[in-house]
Structure 1
Amino acid sequence: MRLTAPSAPAVSAVIRRLLPKRVRMRLTLLYGVLFVVSGAVLLAITYLLVTHASTSVVLGREGDGPVLGRADGASGPLGLTGGQVPLPLKDGTRALREHAYRQHQEDLRSLVVQSGIALAIMAVLSIALGWLVAGRVLRPLRTMTGTIRRISARNVHERLAVAGPADELKDLADTVDGLLGRLETALDAHKRFVANAAHELRTPLTLEHALVEESLMDREATVESYRANLERLLTISEQQARLLESLLTLSSSERGLDRREPLDLADVAEQTVRVPRPEAARHRLRITTSTAPAPLAGDSALVQRLVANLVDNAVGYNVPGGHVRISTGTEDGRALVTVVNSGPRVPPEQVERLFEPFQRLGRTADEGHHGLGLSIVRTIATAHDALLSASARPGGGLVVAVAFPARAEPAKPAPLHDPTIAR
């Protein structure tokens, strides 16, 4: 039978299974092993020092002449390396030297045994002390763990609020508090979004129910009245479809990008303005473009939705006879698209609010605008690491600019998708 040596991963797995699961026990074993190793090293150093110091020079005799030699009987020149010199002494020197050497060896053995017993006793004490010290060190972690376990969606406002010196544990607690703060903000935004979405969806459902109920209860209803109610139901259904599509786009863009492909903002803008917009014709709006190459790498469908939403917002929130201007280019190493529109005056302090979901300025959902267009713009810009800026024009309207990270080398743009009105 051929035996094979275990592989390194198998050995590591066995070691991991043998190690204790609790951090306190592992710290205790670590403290104990360090103490035993350091004690063994100290014992070895002491043994070597005692051995060297015990080889002292003694006065004895050898044969008929005295000698001056080392107690261990080593030979060599007299001095640091030992040796012997004949001196006129009496007999018995050899026996005396041998007795001293045996006594020296016995002392060394006694030193090793007693030191080993002392090391074993201190090893047990070090394990006990290590257990206490490990518990003291891990106490703040246990406190933080218990607090985090108690925190849920209902009390996410609670914080660890660990006091003490600015050490690693304090940094960990502050990091967890920051994470809880961001989580609380995200949960609040999610709750507001769900509440607003439910309200936006409930309103057309209520209206649809009322129209159907009216048609059923009217015994004198004619074909024309039925047709009118069905046309209204069809319009409401289209608005709901656009709302649901906007919600799906907002959700997908918040997850980030699955792929990036080369495209040019100039082509996106030209493709967007070709889509007919009945509201622009109805209000006699003038739409102009000023495009220059602006290459970038991103999701073509999302980028086109961003530009389409900017144009749709500029058209929908405008005044009769107004204008919309779309321009593209590069600035400071970024691909830039800017949409400027006339329209009602927007308070500067309200500009940031317009980029929140379901926020409208002087418009209602009955007009087909659900307040999601600019929020989708911001989400898509964030997914592309783009910079979004908006400001109110002194004469009314908005100036919205999105700066994407430019593509290093121009490449063939990817095919564009048909834009869809999101507001």
Structure 2
Amino acid sequence: MRNPVRVPRALRAAGLRRAVRVPAPVAATVRRLIPKRVRMRLTLLYGVLFVASGVVLLAITYLLVMHSPAKLVLAKTGSSDPRLTEGGISLGLPDGESFTVLNAITRQLREQALRQHQAEMHHLLVQSGIALAIMALISILLGWLVAGRVLRPLRTMTGTVQRISARNLHERLAVTGPDDELKDLADTVDGLLGRLETALDSHKRFVANAAHELRTPLTLEHALLEEALIDRGATVESFRANFERLLEISRQQARLLESLLTLSGSERGLDHREPLDLAVLSEQVVRSSGPEAARRGLRVETATAPAATAGDSTLVQRLVANLVDNAVGYNVPGGLVRVTTGTEGGRSVVCVVNSGPEVPPEQVERLFEPFQRLGRTAGDGHHGLGLSIVRAIATAHDATITARARPGGGLLVRVSFPPRADRPGRHGPQAPLLAAAATGRGGPALGTAAGAGPSR
């Protein structure tokens, strides 16, 4: 016996879908018949529901009347039982003829009653149908009015949203009334408008600051080139000095553009995640920044313990590098930079502490905004984007930033990353280490920690 051929389930489902597929002309006709306006669709829905409920009510009423007790009584009175004549009914005829006449009269009465009952049922059906048709028209009119009343707040919100543009983004729907679905929708739209306004204001400030940062070196470049052309007594040394200054300005512009690209790229989010260790990245950054720290006469201390997480290693390394560059660049001669990694509370942490000028505590949060320098100018080679890039990269990695001013001057920045899923962070001994690094105590322990970086 042959084995039956098995059709794959996917093919059977596809064949079934092809078998019940509606022809394109029919589907197009159905789509054309469906009203485009929500108010009309609601009106038709209300009307159909009323007509359907009216038909059901009419059918129930018709069946109840049709099987009423009066019809049953008429049916029983049509019986030809001779005992119906008992009781002394006499028509002045012999008994046999009296019974025949009485039976005929009873049959006529029953037929007449049945005809009358059928006529009443037909009359009831006709009158009920007329009443149903009238009420269907009234229900369509009432449905149109009710649908308009229900959709009126939506029309108001739609008109308000259509009037809102970039010039009047501060306007809100501000719907009042009970806490129903429409008010929830209006509050959601108001929240969205608020976030859009904040983002637009931030974008405007960013563009204005970026334009200012780019205009300043361009103006300086133009002045240097104009000076070289106007000065008829310029020598090779003066040309060389101007070219060196132009090269330095060009390098600053390249760093600014690179920072802007990094900031915009990190704000878009992560394209991929890979396992990484904050300790390894921090040691690489400290080694690369060692010559600059030595040139400034700074002491760099590291205490790196394994801190496994996941993310974009290039962006995370840029985050640590910006923190270290900020700590090295905004410091005092003979100052200190301390870089610590470890785990706390199941999260991987990197902490950078530096000495330096005193920072007002109320100004710490402002430092994470683009182009904020805390009293410094653009001529110092910094563009005020380092900490804003740190915040953008941390946000892309679901990390949290804690920053505070140190009492003796300088800043403490602590970035906490989620742990890597396949390698949970350690607890216990690392927490006191990070606490000591944050408070600046425990110097000898930090100086002898594994992975100690360069010092002065």
Q: 1:346 aligns with which of 359, 372, 383?
A: 359
Aligned to 1:24: 39
Question: What pairs up with 1:63-142 in 2 under 5 angstroms?
Answer: 63=80, 65-66=82-83, 90-91=102-103, 92-142=105-155
Alignment of 1:359-398 (within 5 A): 359-398=372-411
Contact 1:201 1:240 in 2 (8 A): yes
Structure 2 SS opposite 1:284: coil
Per-residue deviation, 1:106: 2.2
* C-alpha spacing 1:226/1:120, structure 2 compared with 1 (3 Å): same
- The aligned counterpart of 1:421 is none
| Aligned-partner Cα distance in 2 for 1:14–1:303 | 58
Report what 1:307 is aligned to: 320
User: CA 1:45/1:318 → structure 2, altered by over 3 Å: closer, same or farther?
Assistant: same
Give the secondary structure class of the aligned counterpart of 2:54.
Answer: helix
Moved more, 368-377 or 328-337: 328-337
Instruction: Read off the aligned partner of 1:260 and give its amino acid letter.
Output: R
Distance 1:62 1:185, change over 3 A: closer
The separation in 2 between residues aligned to 1:221 and 1:110, in whole angstroms, is 118
Q: Is residue 281 from structure 1 mapped to residue 294 from structure 2 by the alignment?
A: yes
Deviates more, 1:98-107 or 1:371-380: 98-107
Q: Which residue of 2 aligns with 1:75?
A: none
Post-superposition shift, 1:55?
2.5
**Contact 2:278 2:307 survives alignment (8 Å):** yes
Structure 1 residues 57 and 312, CA, compared in 2 at 3 Å: closer, same or farther? same
With over 3 angstroms needed to count, the CA separation of the structure-2 counterparts of 1:61 and 1:323, relative to structure 1, is: closer
2:52 aligns with 37
Higher percent of residues as strand? 1
Displacement of 1:103 in angstroms is 2.0
Q: What's the CA shift string for 1:383-415, capped at 9, x where partnerless? A: 11111110111111111011111111139xxxx
For 1:324 and 1:97, locate their aligned partners in 2 and report how far apart those are by CA, in whole Å: 115
- Count of residue pairs brought into register by the alignment: 390
Within a 5 Å distance, the mapping from 1:249-328 to structure 2 comes to 249-276=262-289, 278-328=291-341
Residue 168 of structure 2 is matched in structure 1 by 155
Structure-2 separation of matches of 1:354 and 1:60: 104
1:205 deviation in Å? 0.5
Quick one: percent identity of the two aligned structures?
Answer: 75
Contact 1:64–1:90 (CA under 8 A) maintained in structure 2: no
Q: 2:226 and 2:299 mapped to 1: Cα distance?
A: 43
Q: 1:110 to 1:279 in 2, by over 3 A?
A: same
> Equivalents in 2 of 1:203, 1:130: separation in Å?
67
Q: Secondary structure at the match of 1:57?
A: helix
- In the alignment, the residues of structure 2 paired with residue 276 and residue 377 of structure 1 have an alpha-carbon distance, to the nearest angstrom, of 17
Per mean C-alpha deviation after superposition, the further-off stretch among 37-46 and 4-13 is 4-13
Q: Does structure 1 residue 57 correspond to structure 2 residue 73?
A: yes
Match of 1:404 in 2: 417
After TM superposition, the score normalised by the length of structure 1 is: 0.87
The answer (yes or no) to whether the contact 2:221–2:249 under 8 Å persists in 1 is yes
Alignment partner of 1:7 is 2:30: no
Indicate the residue corresponding to 2:230 in structure 1. 217
Q: Distance in 2 between matches of 1:9 and 1:273?
A: 70
Judge which range, 270-279 or 310-319, deviates more.
270-279
Tell whether the 8 Å contact from 2:289 to 2:325 is kept in structure 1 after alignment: no
In 2, Cα distance between the equivalents of 1:404 and 1:397?
A: 23
- For 1:371, what is the secondary structure of its paired residue? coil
